Structure 1
Amino acid sequence: MLPLVLAASLAAAPAPRAATASGIVVHIPRLDALQGVTAFLDRAGQHAALMRPVVWYAELHPFLSLDPSQPDTLTRMGIDPAGPMTVSLRANGRVSCARLTDPKVFQEKAAAMLVSAGGKPEVKPTTSGGVTTVSLPRESGGQAGYALKGQEACAFATTGGGSVDDGQGQVMLKETSRLVGRAPKADARLARLPGVLYVLLPERGMVVGMDGSATELRLEGTATQLPLPPFQASGASPYGAMKPEGMLFSRARVAPAGVSQAVGTVRASIQQACPRCPPAEMFSVASAVSERLTGNVLVVVDNVGQRPNLRTPEGRFFAPRQAVAAEVTDAAAMKSALAPLAKFPGAKALEDGYALDVKGGTLFVRLKGRQLVVGNDEAVVRSLQATLPQEGAKLPHSVDFTVDPKRLASGLNQVSLMDVVSDQQLAGIFAVGLELGPLLARSEHISGWLDSVSGGTHRFSTTWTLPASP
């Protein structure tokens, strides 16, 4: 029975005609099935130029202009709107494979574009072993061409070379000839993911399926190299009944083997903000805390403070007003594990824990019953303590999260141009805020979940929702 099930799964799996050594592969099983994704991008593109379909669809082919939302633009190029397309991005260029309805029309359109781009008077195809190939230099540098066999065509363009042939054109021509010369292998990973478009990052072990509608963009994928700890299976959480609030609200059930890693990440962040804190003692406290946690964790980021100083480690630590709650196995034992904090520089004993004055602000460590709460803002810590429920509830996934896009847009706007000039690491955040900020400010919510599966793999899902009416 198992072989039959496996065979059926592989038969239904999409089969990307992907080039070897690709950094990114985009596979579309049917070009005419992208209407939902296009509808979302159309609406999103009204507030973020980067999201406009024309920006993305211009990357589908190395030298032909295609628009899957208008099937006529495909048929005019001899490409089958109901067929698949695979785009492979390599260090030396791009390859795009598609099924054809009319090979002659495709060759005519391709020849016209290649001649105009290369300054050559004509294109002379070569046929060998049933594969027709073309390769021409481009005036802008590099080579472009295609390989065609039957109804399958793979086109390419190299990225470099200038006016001198660097040999990459022949490398790409050989690769495209190989791709059209054999049937692609089915990828069972894609069959297990919903989507009308798939993005694969082979070097990172990541596969993402994408689908959508006018109001939703849905992503679901798997990854083998996420920098995350292992998680427990879905189950009861003391935070399961809580209503999501804040810029970020996330609940997780960390597996016992991953608790130390999770606590270590928090410790490293605190150590950076508190260089005066003795590292050996910090490590000792973190280890003792790890041994007394169940793995149930809640992270709340309320917002980003107004005009934070992002040019220093402590400024970046205190910019997001946040708190973390973690369920403990034994309150008395946890209190003992935290006792060494009293001797840390700037430490003050509180009725239920400690306040640690560090450069840039104050860190709070409080214990309420079987709940350890750590945060960098007193109001957020107190609010979280006050809303912790008496009873928990079951979570359907190991991790879930909710993002308030409006608060996120406001937070991204706190990164200034001068911050980027002072610290180039902030350039990416600044660019995201500049490009996506207006769209986030007009979005409804972003939510998702994550589960651990066998072999160190994580499965995840994200939904980006826009308002019902523009």
Structure 2
Amino acid sequence: MLSLLLATTLAAAPAPRAAPSANTVIHIPQLDKLSGLHGFMSRAGTYAALARPSTWSPEFHPFLSLDPMRPESLSAVGIDATAPATLSFITRSKVSCVRLTDAKAFQAKANEALATGGEVKSNVSKGLTTASAPRGTGRAGYVLKGQDVCSFATLYDDDDLLKETVKLMGKAPAPDARLGKLPGSVFVLQGSRMVVGLDGTADGLQVEGTATQLPLPPFQSASASPYGAMTQPGLLFSRAQVAPAGLSQAVGSVRWSIQQLCAACPPEQINTVTQAVTQQLTGHLLVLVDNVQVKASLRTPEGRFFAPRQVVAAEVKDPSKVKAALSPLAGFPGAQALEDGYALALKGGTVLVRQKGKHLVVGNDEAVVKSLLDALSDKSAKLPHAVDFTADPKRAARALSQVSLLDIMSNQQLAGLFAMSAEVGPLLSNSERLSGWLDSAPGGGHRFSLTWTMPASGAKPAP
């Protein structure tokens, strides 16, 4: 029975004809099913050039000018718009495999394009037709077998990619079960590390995928969350249930930040406090980032830590034991005892550590911490996934816009954020909502989903 189910799954899964040496593979199960994704990209491209279909269409074929979003563009050169296509991106090279309705028409167009670079060398052997010609500093060509063809282009002036493409055409593509488990009209594969399915409409983009190397702890979704009934406005609102094996990793980031910003705080006591608190956590967490207010250089640890006005809430097993575990904080430099916890004066700002019933709350902004404390209740609800989140794209755009020129000149990561702000900022400002979820997957991986929602078609864009 198990073997029958496996065979059925594989039979239904897409089968990319991907080059073994590819770094990234894009597989389109059916070329004429891209209208929804085209609708989103066309609308998003109004605000971000990177999203425009015209930006991506030149990547579809190594040497022919085609638009995969327009079936008539494909039919004009003999490509079957109802069949799959697979693009393999290799270092300084590319391979595009498609099915043909008219092999002669394709060969005529392909040979004409290849001839612009120099003499076309062709050969027919064992049912395979090969053709290649110089192209810039390298070569381009195709390998044809029946109604299937793989075209290639490389910046290297050798026949290595031609030989690899011949081998690729020599066997039938194998079904990839990972793709059969994901929705999407386009799939992006990065080796065994990540697979993502994409689809959309004019009003939104849907992304769902699996990954094996995300820097995240393991999660679980086995019980009702004390934060399951809560909603809070902000740049980011997320609820999670961390598995017991991942609690040390989750708490470790907080410990590391405090150690960075409080050089006089005794490291051994910080470790003692965090270990004792970790043992009392149930795994239910809530993260709220209200907004970003850059007050110091983002090149400094304190600038990066205090720029996002944020707070984390965690459910604990025994509040009295947590209170005792936190008591060493009273002896930390600059610590102030509060009625329900402590205020720690660190370099660049103050961290608040407070308790309310079974909730431990840690934040870096008094107003944000108070707002969350007021919203906490005893009402719980089961979440459909181990992690869920919502984000306000407009607040995200404002956050990105605060990266300064001096920051980008001295830090590569901050330069990346600045570039993201310039490219994606206008799109975020004209988007409605970002939301998604994440679950742990077998083998230490994760499955995730993201929905990017635009305002209803016809709505007035943001200024």
**TM-score normalized by the length of structure 1:** 0.95
Q: Which whole-Å CA distance do the structure 1 matches of 2:260 and 2:58 have between them?
A: 44
> Cα deviations across residues 222-249 of structure 1 (Å, max 9, x unaligned)?
1111111111125300000011420000
Counterpart contact for 2:296–2:302, Cα < 8 Å? no
Give the match's secondary structure for 1:393. Answer: coil
Q: 1:329–1:370: 8 Å Cα contact kept in structure 2?
A: yes
Q: Which residue of 1 aligns with 2:120?
A: 123
| Alpha-carbon offset, residue 88 of structure 1 | 0.9
Deviations 1:112-168 (A, max 9, x none): 22222x2x1x423111221111222223x1221111111111111113x4xxx3x3x
The answer to whether structure 1 residue 405 and structure 2 residue 422 are counterparts is no
CA distance in 1, matches of 2:171, 2:122: 20
Distance 2:221 2:36 in 1: 32
Q: Indicate the SS of the match to 1:295.
A: strand
Are 1:143 and 2:131 counterparts?
no
Displacement after TM superposition at 1:306 (Å): 4.6
Q: Secondary structure at the match of 1:429?
A: helix
Question: Does 1:156 pair with 2:152?
Answer: yes
- Give 3-state SS (helix, strand or coil) of 1:16's partner: coil
Paired with 1:269 and 1:185, the residues of 2 have a C-alpha distance of 47
> Counterpart of 2:129?
132
Corresponding position: 1:226 with 2:203? no
1:308 to 1:76, Cα distance in 2 relative to 1, 3 A: farther
Q: Could you tell me how far 1:308 is from its partner in structure 2?
A: 4.4
- Where in structure 2 are the equivalents of 1:286-325 lying within 5 Å? 286-306=274-294, 308-325=296-313
State the Cα RMSD in Å: 1.3
Which 4+ stretches in 1 moved above 6 angstroms?
none
The answer on whether the counterparts of 1:71 and 1:81 sit within 8 Å (CA) in structure 2 is: yes
User: Does the Cα contact within 8 Å between 2:344 and 2:351 map onto a contact in 1?
Assistant: yes
Which deviates more, 226-235 or 456-465?
A: 226-235
2:166 pairs with one of 173, 177, 183: 177
Q: Does 1:188 align with 2:177?
A: yes
1:202 alignment partner in structure 2: 191
Please report how far the alpha carbon of residue 273 of structure 1 lies from its aligned counterpart in structure 2 after TM superposition: 2.6
Aligned equivalent of 1:378: 366
> 8 Å contact 2:95–2:152 — kept in the other structure?
yes
Letter in 2 for 1:326: A
Q: Which runs of 5+ in 1 are unaligned?
A: none
SS in 2 for 1:178: helix
Deviations 1:14-44 (A, max 9, x none): 0000111221110000111000000000000
> SS where residue 58 of structure 1 aligns?
helix
- The alpha-carbon distance between structure 1 residues 56 and 234, as it changes in their structure 2 partners (threshold 3 A), is farther
CA distance in 2, matches of 1:81, 1:469: 28
Classify the secondary structure of the residue corresponding to 2:54. helix
Q: How does 1:16-415 map onto structure 2 within 5 Å? A: 16-116=16-116, 118=117, 120=118, 122-139=119-136, 141-159=137-155, 161=156, 165=157, 167=158, 170-203=159-192, 205-306=193-294, 308-415=296-403
Other-structure match for 2:461: none
Cα displacement (A) at 1:344:
1.4
Deviation string, structure 1 residues 365-386 (Cα, Å, up to 9, x no partner): 1111110000111111111111
Give deviations 1:59-97, integer Å, cap 9, x for gaps: 111111121222111011211101111111112411111
Cα displacement (A) at 1:264: 0.8
CA distance in 1, matches of 2:112, 2:15: 30
CA contact (8 A) 2:202 2:457 kept: no
Amino acid of the structure 2 residue aligned with 1:87: L
- SS across alignment from 2:354: strand
Instruction: Please give the secondary structure, in 2, of the residue aligned with 1:222.
Output: strand
Distance in 2, Cα, partners of 1:76 & 1:315: 56
Contact residue 295 and residue 303 of structure 2 kept, 8 A:
no
Q: Count matched residues.
A: 458
AA in 2 matched with 1:460 = F
> 1:198·1:207 contact (CA, 8 Å) conserved in 2?
yes
Q: 1:383 to 1:96 in 2, by over 3 A?
A: same
